[in-house]
Structure 1
Amino acid sequence: MHPGPPRFCTVSEAVELAPRHPEPDASYAWSTLERPDGSDLSVGSNAVVHVEPDVPGTYRFELEAPDGRYEQTVRAFPDPRRSVRFELPVAALPDHDPADVSVIGPFNDHLVGRDRPRLEDDTYVYETRLPPGSRRFAYVVGENVGDAVWDNVVVPGPGRPRLALAGEVREGELVVTADAEPGTDSGYDASDLDIEYVVDDRDRSDLPPDALSVTDGVARIDRDTIEGTVRLHAVAVGERHSVADCLDIRVAADGTPEIRRPNEPPEWARDTVVYEIFVRSFTHEASFDALERRVPYLAHLGVDCVWLTPILAGPTTHGYHTTDYFETASDLGTREDFQSFVDRCHDAGIRVVFDLVINHTAREHPAFDMSAAGVPEYRDWYVWESLESAGLEESDLESELEDTDRRASNAPPSRKLRGREREVAQYYFDWRGIPNLNYDSLAVRAFVLSVVDEWADVVDGYRCDVAWAVPHGFWKEVRDRVRERDPEFLLLDESIPRDPDFQEGEFDVHYDTTLYDTLRDIGTGDRPAAALLEAATAPEREGFPDRSLHMRYVENHDEPRYLEECSTDALHAAAAATCTLPGVPLIYYGQERGATEYRGPIPWEGDGELTSFHRELIETRADSAALSGGEFDTLEYDADSDAAVAFARTDSSGSESEGVIVALNFGSEPATVRVRLSEAVGGGLEVGGENEDEATDLVSGTRVPIDRDGDAKTVSFPVADVVVLETTV
C-alpha cells in the first residue's frame, strides 16, 4: 500500500498522493511530517489527497494505512509560470452570444465553459499563468468544439534541463554519475546545473542515513550497505528542474549489484513499427477471426506490432465507450477468439497492443446508472459537479442531462439521469457520452487496477487513451504493476500535446504531436520542408530525456486522412519521414492502400504501388542500424525546392560507424538536393565511393546519379520522394 516513488513538482502545482493496491473499505489518513520554513501546507483527511506546495523545498508526508505507516517525499521547485494572454478577434468566431464563449486547452484539461474571456473592443482576451514553451488554446462557442478556433502562443523563458543517470561499481562503491544538459534558452551551462539525489522512500529504511554521499554531482553508496533494493532518483536543476531519472540497484543472490534503468522503454520498442487497426473497418466481417485471417498481410507488410482500437463491450463502433471491461464486444467474438488472434500474431513475430480506456466509461455502464441514482457505494465513482462549477445555467440542464454523444455514429436512445438534481457528470470537450471516472475514489482505483491486471497477461502493451487526464501517480502504479509481470510490457500514452512529465516512470512511447502538425503543414504547402528538422529536435527543446521514444505518425483514428488534405506525392515523403526519423513509426490501417476515409473500410483493392512503397520503407529501416536506432544529425544542404529537405542518421554502436543521408521531397516535381559532405557529422562523409557518379538508393534499390563538386566534397542528386544513401565516415 506504499504510495510510491518521490514526487517532483513546482510551487502551486498540484500533486496527487494515494495508497497503492487500495482496499476500498479500509481507512487511510495522511499527515505532514516535514515542510519547508514559511510553508502553511497541510493535507486533508481523505485517502487520496491533492497537495499544492506553497514554497520551494522538501515536503514529507505520512500515510497511515491498515498494514502500517508509509512516508512519501515531495520536492517542490520554484514556480516557473509567467503571465500569458490568449487573444482572438470576435469576428474569428461564427455568429454567437459572447456569454457562450469560453477558452479551453491543456491548461484546463479542455473543460468547456469553465474559463470565460473578457471582451476588449473587438477582441476576446483571457489571461493566465503558464510555464515557458509553446502553449495551445482554443476559443469555443457553447460546446461547438468542432468549430473551435485553435492557436498557439509561445511563453518566453528557459526550457527544462535534461538528465540521464549511469551507475557502476568501483572499488566497493556504487558510483552514480549524471549526464545533464541545460534547457533551451537557459543561462546555465551543464557544469552550472545542480544534481539533487533522493532515495526512494520505500528503500530508506534499508539504507543507513549516511550511506549516500554526493560530491560535485556524483553520488556514492558503500556497496556493503545495500541490502535488497535501492532506488535512487535524481533531477538536474537550473532555472527549472528536469524530468527525474532513476536507477534501480538490486543485490543478486551471489552478492553482485545489478543496476537497472526502470525508466527505459523495452528494447524491442526502439526498432518496432506499429500498425493501428480500427477493428470494425479493417475487414469486411468485423471479427477476431477475420482479423486473424489477415495476419499474413501484416507480416507481409513488415510490421511487428499491432495496436487495436478498443475491443471491449460498448454501444459504439469506435469502441471508446466501454460498458464491460472484462468481456469482449459480442460482435467481434469471444475472449477465446481474441486470444487466438493474439497467438496467431505472436506466431508471426507480431506483438499486440491493447487500447486501455480508463479515463471514463460509457454512460450506459452499470456503475454510472447507480452513481447517477445515488447508490452509496457508487456515488463517488464519477466526477459530479454543480451547474455553476460546470459553467452551466439552469436552462442548460435539460440538454446537459440528455445521454447523447455527437461523435458516435450509432448513439443509443437518450435517457435522463436520475437522483442528481442540479448536478452533472464531468466530461472533456463535448464528450457527453463518456463521463469522467473519479480517481479520488478508492473503489475506482481498485476497479481500474483489476482491469489492468485482466488483460496484461494477454497482450504485449497498452495504448492508454486520454492519458493526459489520469493522475500521474496512478500511471506510475500501473507501470510498476505491469512491469512486475512482464519487464518487456509497453505503455504508449495519448497525451496531446505531449508532456515530458509522462516520461518520469510512466510511459515508454509518446504521441509526437509536433511532427504530426508539421507534416500536415508541409504537405499542404503552409510550411517549407525544412520545418521537419525543427520538429525532429522538438523533444530536446521540450525537456524529454534522450532515452525517450516518440510515435511518428501522419494519421490515426482521431485525425483526417493525409490524402484528404495533401497529395500522394506528399504522403510518400511524410511516410518516409516517419520511417527515417528516430522514434516509433505508426501506420494507420489503409494509409498504405491510399485510404481517404478516416474510419472507413480499408480499400483492399487500393493503391498497390503505395503499399509496396510502405513495405520498402519498413524493410529499409529494419536493415539499417542507422535508421532503426542511430542518432539524428543535421546537414549543410540546399535544394531547388522548398518542398525538399535532407538530414543524416548515424549509428556508432557497433565496431564500425554506419550512416545514411536521407533526402525527402514533398512536392509533385523532382527536386535536386545538394549536400556538403565535408561539413557532415563525423567530420566528413563519403557517398557511393569517392569517384563514383552513382549511388544506390536503399529504399528503391535503384542507382541514383551523383554530381560531385570537386574538392569541396559537395554532392548533388535528384529526389522524387525519398532517397536514402549509405555513407562511410
Structure 2
Amino acid sequence: MHHPGPPRFCAVGETVELAPRAPDPDADYEWTLVEKPAESELSAPEAAVAEIEPDLPGSYRFELESPAGTHEQRVRVFPDVRRETSFDLDRTELPDHDPDEVSIMGPFNEHRFAREWPTLEGDTYRYEIEVQPGTHRYGYVPGEDFENAVWTNVEIPGPGRPRVRLEGKIEESDEAVTVTAEATPGTDSEYAAADLEVEFYADDRDPLSDDDLEIDGREVRIDLADLEEATRVHAVAVGERHSVADVVVVHPDGRVDRANDPPEWAEDAVVYEIFVRSFTDPASFEALERRVPYLESLGIDCLWLTPVLESPTEHGYHTTDYFDTAADLGTREEFASFVDRCHEAGIRVVFDLVINHTAREHAAFDMSAAQVPEYDDWYVWEPLEDVGIGAADLEGGRDADSPPSRVTTEERIEVADYYFNWHGIPNVNYDSLAVRSFFRAVVEEWVDVVDGFRCDVAWGVPHGFWKEVADLARDHNDEFLLLDETIPREPGYAEGEFDVHYDTTLYYALREIGNGQRAADDLLEAARAPEREGFPDWSLQMRYVENHDETRYLTDCGEAAQRAAVAAVLTLPGMPMIYYGQERGATEYRQRMPWEGDSRATTYHRRLVAARRDSEALSRGTLADLEYEADSERVVAFTREADAERVAVALNFGSDPVEVTPDVLVDSVDLVTGDELAVEDGTESPTLEVEDVVVVRLE
C-alpha cells in the first residue's frame, strides 16, 4: 500500500524524492539506507518525505518501514555531467534599476526571484553555476519588477541523452518471454549505438527480483513458470549520460505491455483548448453543452478546459474547493452532462488539474497562516529575511496582493513560498503527508469523470508524486491522458509520468519565424528538437501557436504567418492544439469568443484538421526532409511518410505567393482544399504555387 514506487534513476548533482505512496498522515514511516557506494557519505533521511542528493555514482538501496510492512526503493546514480558556466546579461538590457536589487531566476531555482543574486563585473551581470549540457533559459529581474524581466538562453555544449525502447514477445515454446532493448545514442555523443550499455532492473513492487532476470546483452529472458502475477522490467541506456528509463509489463500468459506508451487515441488526436469563462456569454456548463456541435464541426477529438473548480478568479487557477465545480459555471451534474455530450460527439475531455498551489483564499492556507497545528506544514514558510523582500512589501495584505505572509507566535514574520510574482497562489508543501493524501484524493475524485488531466505547473510538483498519479489514473482507466506544463521542457517527465509535453521549443521557433527573426527552414530543426533534448520516442509533443498564457499569434506575426504556423502545427508530427478563437480571428489572448468573427479562418482550420484526419502520413507518419527550390526564406517544405502513403508539405510564412519546386514528382490535388493545383509541369520536378500551405501526395 505504501510502497514508494519504481526504481529511480538520476545523476550526481540531481535530487530524488523518497516518499510513501497513499500515506496515512497520522502514521509513522522510517527510512533506512541499506546499500550505497563504499565512499558515499549519504545517510538515510529522517523524515517520511525527503529529497536526497546522492554524492557518488553507483547503486543505493533504501528500506521504508510503514504500517503496511517494509518496502524497498532502489536508486541508480550515474556520473555527474554538469559543466561550469555563467548566466550573463549586459546591464544596459535592463530598464532603469538599482544594481543592488537585481536578481536572477530560472529552472535552477524553480523560478523564484529575489533569491539568487548575480555579481556585476563591469557592465555585465554574471551568475556562475554548474548545469548539464543543453539549452538553459534564465531571466534577470530588476527589483520586484517581474514584468520587465529580461529573458535569454545559453547553450551548454555536450552530448545529449541516449534513448532506449523495450519490446517483448513470447517464445515459440510458450515457456518464456524475451524482452529486447533498442538503444540510440544522444546528439553529439561519442558512443555508437552498439557501444551503449543497457541496464535492466526488476521492479521491487513485483515478486521477481533481478536474479530472476536472465540477462544476455540487450535481451532479458523471463521463465513463465516463475511468473505467478504480472511483473515490470525497467531498462536504461548508458553512454556519457543515461536515458529516460523504459518499462514493460510481462503477464503470466506471455502478454507484454508497454507501460509508457500514450493512449492509442492520443496518437492522432487534435486538441482544442477553451478558456472557460470566455467561450460563451454567459459562461456555464449548459452553454458549453449547447456549443458542442461547433466543436464537432471543427473535427477535433479532445477538448482541454481551463479550470472549472471553485475559484475567486476568472481564469480559475486559484482554487478554493477541489471537490466541487465553480458555482458560476454550474453543478457537478451539469458538468457531467456536458462531458457526456462531448463523449456522444466522439470528443474526450481533459480537465485542468492545479495541484502545485492553492488559492490564497483556500481554507487550508488560512489555517496554515493562523498556525493551526494540523495545517502548519501544508505550505512552505520562510523567514522574511531569507526571501529577499522587505517588510514594506507586505503592507496592505491580501487585498493589495502583496506576498502571502504570517506572523508566528514567536513574533517572526514568515512568507509563504510562491513562483514568479504569483502572490495569490502559494505553493503547497509535498513534504507533508497530509498534502500528499489530500491531492491523491483530488485525483481520485475526478479521474472517473474526465478523460485526462492537463497538469498546471507540473514542474513544481515532485516526480515521485506524478508517478503515483500516473499509476493511479491508469488503474482507473488505461486510456487516461496526462499532459504536462513544464518550464523548461524536461524529458524526465516521460518516465512513467506524462504522455504529452508542451512543445515550447517549437512554439518559440514559430514566433521567431513568423516575425522574420529566423528563416522558415529552422522549423524542421525545432520540430526534431525532442530527440536532441533526450525525449524518448514514445513521448508526444503538444504543438501550438498560442494558448491562454500567450499573446495571439495573429497580433504578433500577422495573418499570412499565422496561416502557415497553424498549418505547421497540423502537418508536423505530434499532438496539435488549437486555442479557442484563433480559428475566428481573435486578437486578444483571453477575449470573448468572436462568434461573429472570421469564418474564412475557421474554414481553413477545418480543412487542415480534415486533411490530417484523412491522411495516415499526416496523422501518424514520420518526418523527413524534402529537397526543393524556392526564392524565399519564408518558405519551408518537408515530407511525412507512413507505410502506405507519402505526402509533401510546403509552407509559406510570407504575404506573397511563392513558387516551390520539389525534386520529386507529386500529385496535382491539394489535400487541404481538394482543388487541382496550378502546377507548372517539368520533366522531373513540377513547380507549386504556395500561398500559405500546399499538401500533396508523392507519386
TM range (shorter): over 0.9
Residue 709 (structure 1) shift:
4.2
TM-score by length of 2: 0.97
Partner of 1:486: 477
- Aligned equivalents of 2:219 and 2:400: distance in 1? 58
Partner of 2:336: 339
8 Å CA contact retained: 1:397, 1:422: no
Match of 1:700 among 662, 673, 677: 673
Alpha-carbon contact 1:109-1:469 (below 8 Å) kept: yes
Which residue in 2 is equivalent to 1:353?
350
> Does structure 2 conserve the Cα–Cα contact (< 8 Å) formed by 1:307 and 1:352?
yes
1:545 aligns with 2:536: yes
Shift of 1:547: 1.5
2:304 is matched with: 307
Q: Encode CA deviations 1:25-47: one digit per residue, 9 max, x unaligned.
A: 00000010100121111122111
User: Equivalent residue of 2:386, what SS?
Assistant: coil
CA distance in 1, matches of 2:634, 2:544: 19
Deviates more, 1:134-143 or 1:460-469: 134-143
Deviation of 1:12 after TM superposition, in Å, equals: 2.1
> Pairwise CA RMSD of aligned residues?
1.4
SS state at 2:255 partner: strand
Matched, 1:165 2:166: yes
3-state SS of the aligned residue for 2:696? Answer: strand
* Segment drifting more, 379-388 vs 582-591: 379-388
- SS for the counterpart of 2:350 is strand
User: Which amino acid in 2 is paired with 1:460?
Assistant: D
C-alpha distance after superposition, 1:371-408 (max 9, x if no partner): 01111000000011122332234444437x545449xx
AA aligned opposite 1:531:
D
Counterpart of 1:720 (choices 691, 694, 697) is 691
SS at match of 1:696: coil
More displaced stretch, 171-180 vs 664-673: 171-180
- In structure 2, C-alpha distance between the alignment counterparts of 1:209 and 1:117, rounded to whole Å: 48
**Deviation digits for residues 673-714 of structure 1, max 9, x if unmatched?**
12112xxxxxxxx422xxxxxx0000011111333443xx33
Amino acid at match of 2:377: D
**Cα distance between partner residues in 2 of 1:53 and 1:216:** 28
**Equivalent residue number for residue 230 of structure 2:** 229
Aligned partners of 2:453 and 2:482 also within 8 Å: yes
User: Conserved in 2, the CA contact under 8 Å of 1:304 and 1:351?
Assistant: yes
Separation in 1, partners of 2:211, 2:610? 54
1:526-545 matched pairs, under 5 angstroms? 526-545=517-536
Structure 1 Cα separation of the partners of residues 400 and 427 of structure 2 = 15
Question: Using the alignment, how far apart are the partners of 2:251 and 2:79 within structure 1?
Answer: 34
Counterpart of 2:604, as a letter, is: F
1:670 aligned onto 2:657: yes
Letter in 1 for 2:662: V
CA distance in 1, matches of 2:597, 2:557: 17
2-side partners of 1:415 and 1:145: how far apart?
A: 17
Deviations 1:638-683 (A, max 9, x none): 311111100000111xxxx211000000100001112112xxxxxx
Q: Distance in 2 between matches of 1:389 and 1:250?
A: 52
What's the % identity of the aligned pairs?
Answer: 61
> 1:390: which partner in 2?
387
Query: Is this contact kept in 1: 2:405–2:413, CA < 8 A?
Result: no
* 8 A contact 1:62–1:70 mirrored in 2: yes
2:83 match:
82
Query: 8 Å contact 1:403–1:433 — kept in the other structure?
Result: no
Q: How far apart are 1:563 and its partner, in Å?
A: 1.2
Alignment of 1:58-207 (within 5 A): 58-170=59-171, 171=173, 172-203=175-206, 206-207=207-208
The one-letter amino acid of 1:720's match is: E
Q: How many residues in Structure 1 have an aligned counterpart in Structure 2?
A: 694
Equivalent residue of 1:292, what SS? helix
Looking at structure 2, the residues matched to 89 and 4 of structure 1 have their Cα atoms a distance apart, in angstroms, of 46
103-112 or 481-490: which moved more?
103-112
Partner SS for 2:586: coil
Quote the residue 1:281 is aligned against. Answer: 278
Contact persistence 1:114–1:390 (CA under 8 A): yes
Q: Is contact 2:670-2:696 (8 Å) kept?
A: yes
Task: Report the residue type matching 1:618 in the other structure.
Answer: V
AA partner of residue 202 (structure 1): R
TM (norm. structure 1) is 0.93
Question: Of residues 559, 575, 580 in structure 1, which corresponds to 2:571?
Answer: 580
1:208 CA displacement: 5.8
- Unaligned runs of at least 5 residues, structure 2: none
Letter in 1 for 2:526: A
Instruction: In structure 1, give the amino acid aligned to 2:693.
Output: V
Alignment partners' CA distance in 2, 1:522 and 1:328: 40
Distance in 2 separating the partners of 1:637 and 1:54: 52
**Residues of 2 paired with 1:615 and 1:311: CA distance?**
27
Cα offset, 1:417, TM superposition: 4.0
5+ unaligned residues in a row in structure 1: which ranges? 407-413, 678-685, 689-694
Query: How far apart, CA to CA, are the structure 2 residues paired with 1:658 and 1:113?
Result: 55
1:169-217, Cα deviation, whole Å (9 max, x unpaired): 22323211111110000000000000001111112xx226632122222
Give the direction of change, closer, same or farther, for the CA distance of 1:428–1:403 in structure 2 (3 Å limit): farther
What is the CA–CA distance in structure 1 between the aligned matches of 2:405 and 2:470, rounded to whole Å? 38
Q: Which amino acid aligns with 1:328?
A: T
One-letter amino acid matched to 1:674: T
| Aligned pairs (5 A) from 1:400-439 | 401-402=397-398, 404-405=400-401, 417=406, 419=408, 421-439=412-430
Instruction: Give deviations 1:564-608, integer Å, cap 9, x for gaps.
Output: 111111111111111100011100000000000100101111000
Matches of 2:603 and 2:678, distance apart in 1: 23
Aligned 8 A contact 2:404 2:416 in 1: no
**Aligned AA for 1:61?**
F
Distance in 2 of aligned mates of 1:719 and 1:302: 25
Return the alpha-carbon distance in structure 1 between the equivalents of residues 400 and 224 of structure 2.
Answer: 61
> How far apart, in 2, do the equivalents of 1:218 and 1:716 lie?
50
**Which amino acid in 1 is paired with 2:675?**
T
CA distance in 1, matches of 2:653, 2:152: 25
Q: 1:415 to 1:470 in 2, by over 3 A?
A: closer
**Cα shift at 1:118:** 0.1
Alpha carbons 2:546, 2:552 under 8 Å: kept: yes
- Aligned residue for 2:441, secondary structure, equals helix
